[in-house]
Structure 1
Amino acid sequence: MYLLITPISSTIFRWGGVSSILISGSINTGYYEPLPLPSTIYGFLKYTLVINNIIKDNDPVPKFRGPLFYVESETEKVLCVHSYPQKLRCNNDINIKTDEGWYEHRLGIGLDRKKKITKEGYIYMEKMLNLQLIANKIISKAKRYGVLIDVSLDEHVKDKINGFVAPFGGESRPAKIQVIDFDDVGKLIRRNEVLLASPAIVDPKDDDNIVSWDDKKVNIEAIEGKITYRVVSLGFERGKRSQMKLGLMPTVKLNVEVNKNSIFQEGIGYLTDRGWGSVCII
């Protein structure tokens, strides 16, 4: 089932770093991207499915793949894959980098939620991204856009979640879910490139052009620039931060001569059931 997640207003996809104000002046070392981390989507789905009594609080979230950026107009549909850092690579041959003018800069004050008071000296900054500006850059007069994911859900839950609004991304900004018919996804495949769509959790590298996990490996090639690795957080589980792992950033294409559909379905690396290491063919 394909779900389109559309923020109701500007949203925050922070991939790490610190955003704060110091006495000596402002400092912003946060990493902001045009698409969310898989851990952000996992939390969003968990909230949605538990609130709608589709799963129990202790149940895992069903397997999902993505995210991609999807935008459509009256005459055109376009898929874009993340190209780290701060870029989208689209199948209509438009490649864009997020513009600083698409962000809203907000100042926040830390709160002690138990005491219901502000935290002394805890002032921070966030950058909120307007996805509609991105959509209109890709297609003029975009009528529908957002973060697209493919989730293993039964059709009978469609009516429960279609139109549901849930907290999404930093500051728990609201976003609306639309269940969309996407049977014609094959028609959007133009270049037939196999691209990494989300960070892949892999073993420490021995070769710049090969990534491995368990007893598997795949050859990779930089789309542009260089192959990038970062230590990433796997998010939070029951209020506790999960482990930090080595992540291959979505900057690469996979050199796969056969079984493209298999690697598209399975992804690469560890924790692919949670969206890490998703693969897109565009």
Structure 2
Amino acid sequence: MIKITFLLIKPLKPLSFRWGGEFSPILSGPMNKGVSEPLPLPSTIAGFLYSVTKNAGNKKDVERLSLEDDLNTVKVKLWGPLLYIKGNYYAHSYPGKIIRLENWKMIEEVDVVNVLKVINKIGIGIKGDSKAVKESLLYTQQLIKIREGGILVETDYEIKDGYYTMGGESSIVKIETLKEVNIPQKGKYGLVISPIILKPVNRIITIYDLYDMEIEGLGKLRDVIVNKLPVKLGLIGVGFNISYNVRRPIYPAIMPGSIINYKEKANLGLFRENGWGSVLPVDSVIDTNTH
């Protein structure tokens, strides 16, 4: 029998969870700005869990794999994430907001600054080879500080409580196992809490074509739309290929904060076996497109 556990990941310092864009002066000019979302992508969490439990990260292990196949090297049963702060639950509403939940009902959508601490860091550009200052190059980076709480995920990986490093910057996090977490298995609607990855298309499409896009394991997008609650669609990268040292392809996705006509706790869409496409059952909804 597979043991399922809830882990609370508590960052000990401010972090930046970037979901897209290029943090480069080549594209953005002499002033760069990195904006953080309140929660990390599933690929960040899955990679962390896999590296901690499987001693992963050796490039030689995946050198024989294609760019598409290397996703299969990280099989992590993962559902989430949610914010868990002082006994309260919050879900991500892309871009840059969170949804307060109460008794598994959507109560309100709020700005991140109302719940988390947002820090804007200003710095100067440095040349990678010589560590000298790059003239006329500045950057601002938005950091998120989770106070009195952490990032809640459900997984079948067993990790001892303690301190670990997570992310490309090797930030220190504290892991705690939570024993009493009662996530509902069914509800009246489905709240998307991590991106549902859709099948890509190889042509220019219209807005009407979007509704014919397939959700792996569920059907067409048009069949799960809740009346008067349009879903949020976007483009998302699904992680980084350590073998080829490049980003993996970008896919269309249903973004967090969307409401769909799906009543069970699940993972949907492409790469759901890697932790993407988490859906939280809720008993009431709000229109996050108007907040």
Give the alignment's TM-score, normalised by structure 2.
0.71
Corresponding residue number in structure 1 for 2:36: 32
Deviation for aligned residue 1:86: 1.6
Distance, in Å, in 2 between the alignment partners of 1:87 and 1:184 is: 24
Picking from 227, 231, 252, the partner of 1:227 is 231
1:158-237 equivalences in 2 (<5 Å): 158-159=159-160, 162-168=161-167, 171-186=169-184, 192-203=188-199, 206=208, 211-214=213-216, 216-217=218-219, 218-221=223-226, 226-237=230-241
Deviation track 1:78-106 (CA, whole Å, cap 9, x = no partner) reads: 22211112221122234321239932111
Letter in 1 for 2:274: R
The 3 A distance-change label for structure 1 pair 215 and 86 is closer
Identity of aligned residues (%): 26
Q: Which residue of 2 aligns with 1:136?
A: none
Moved more, 177-186 or 92-101: 92-101
Map 1:1-282 → 2, pairs under 5 A: 1-19=5-23, 26-28=31-33, 30-50=34-54, 53=55, 57=58, 58=61, 59-72=73-86, 77-92=87-102, 93-99=107-113, 102-109=117-124, 115=129, 117-118=131-132, 120-121=134-135, 123-132=138-147, 144-153=148-157, 157-159=158-160, 162-168=161-167, 171-186=169-184, 192-203=188-199, 206=208, 211-214=213-216, 216-217=218-219, 218-221=223-226, 226-238=230-242, 239-256=245-262, 260-261=263-264, 264-265=265-266, 267-282=267-282
Gaps of 5+ in 2: 62-72, 202-206, 283-291
In structure 1, C-alpha distance between the alignment counterparts of 2:84 and 2:258, rounded to whole Å: 20
Please say if residues 2 and 181 of structure 1, whose CA atoms lie closer than 8 Å, have aligned partners that are also in contact. yes
Q: Is the CA contact (8 Å cut-off) linking 1:12 and 1:171 kept in structure 2?
A: no
- 1:171/1:108 CA distance change after superposition, 3 Å: farther
- Unaligned stretches of 5+ in structure 1? 133-143
1: CA distance between counterparts of 2:43 and 2:74? 13
Amino acid at match of 2:273: D
**CA drift at 1:244:** 1.1
Contact 1:11 1:130 survives alignment (8 Å): yes
Q: Which residue of 1 aligns with 2:204?
A: none
How far did 1:111 drift? 5.5
Residues 64 and 209 (structure 1), Cα distance of their counterparts in 2 relative to 1, 3 Å cut? same
Structure-1-length-normalised TM-score = 0.73
Per-residue Cα deviation, 1:247-279 (whole angstroms, up to 9, x for no partner)? 2211311213xxx33xx23x2210112222111
Q: How many residues align?
A: 247
Q: Match of 1:182, SS?
A: coil
CA spacing shift, 1:78–1:108, aligned 2, 3 Å: same
